[in-house]
Structure 1
Amino acid sequence: MQTDDLTGDDLVGVLATLANPHRMRVLAALAGGRNYVSQLARELGISRALLQVHLKRLEKAGLVSATLELSEDGKAMKFYEVTPFELHLTPQALAAAALTLTDPNDVEKD
């Protein structure tokens, strides 16, 4: 993923996702290589439930991906890894992305 590949709405979503310190720490931990949820939670000193919330948000933004694997003892282990991305923010990139933003008046309210 690169800045040029993102619509304005996608870019807003990625930046909002990155604006959380827990998610930045998760990405920093995964930058060293893939890891499974329990080990990652121990390394970060947060609960697995809280980690899962942040991992789901990172996955939705396209910043991490997950694979389910079986351990030798038959336990299901979900591994996460960083999806390669590069964000290069310039005034010109932001201006181009702004042209593709959804008009808030066109979005249906829940």
Structure 2
Amino acid sequence: MDAVPPNGDRLLHMLGALANPHRLRIVAALASRRNYVSQLARDLGISRPLLHMHLQRLESAGLVSGVLEVSADGKAMKYFEVAPFTVALTPTTVAEAASTLTPDPPEAKD
């Protein structure tokens, strides 16, 4: 099954979310298995607040998803996993995405 090319605004959002080394490492770490925030922060060697910021950006772009679970001892833990996504960048897909951009999208202001 071929992936449906994202519209221009969605493509910018996805690429913007991936345009950071921490976020690339987060996606890479979650590619093999889901993980909870504290363990993921330890594995990546970054603070939980910084990790949360990056996870929020990835989640808003639809690249990861999180779910809050309660452990057997009653501790709330938020688990994240990679959401299924495919981004195929070819001149044609970029042209198709560009034709669907909204005027002056928010990412263009960054």
TM above 0.5: yes
Correspondence 1:73-92 to 2 at 5 A: 73-92=73-92
Instruction: State TM-score, norm by structure 1.
Output: 0.90
Q: How many angstroms does 1:3 deviate by?
A: 5.4
Q: Gaps spanning 5+ residues in structure 2: where?
A: 106-110
Correspondence 1:49-88 to 2 at 5 A: 49-88=49-88
CA-based RMSD of the aligned residues comes to 1.2
Instruction: State TM-score, norm by structure 2.
Output: 0.90
For 1:35, the equivalent position in structure 2 comes to 35
Q: How many angstroms does 1:54 deviate by?
A: 0.2
Structure 2: distance between partners of 1:30 and 1:100: 31
The CA deviation string for residues 10-60 of structure 1, in whole angstroms up to 9 with x for no partner, is 101110111100000000000110000000000000000000000000000
SS class of match (2:96): helix
Structure 2: distance between partners of 1:85 and 1:69: 24
For 1:108, the equivalent position in structure 2 comes to none
C-alpha spacing 1:58/1:19, structure 2 compared with 1 (3 Å): same
Number of residue pairs matched?
103
SS class of match (2:94): helix
Structure 2: distance between partners of 1:62 and 1:7: 13
For 1:24, the equivalent position in structure 2 comes to 24
Is 1:23–1:58's contact at 8 Å kept on the other side of the alignment?
yes
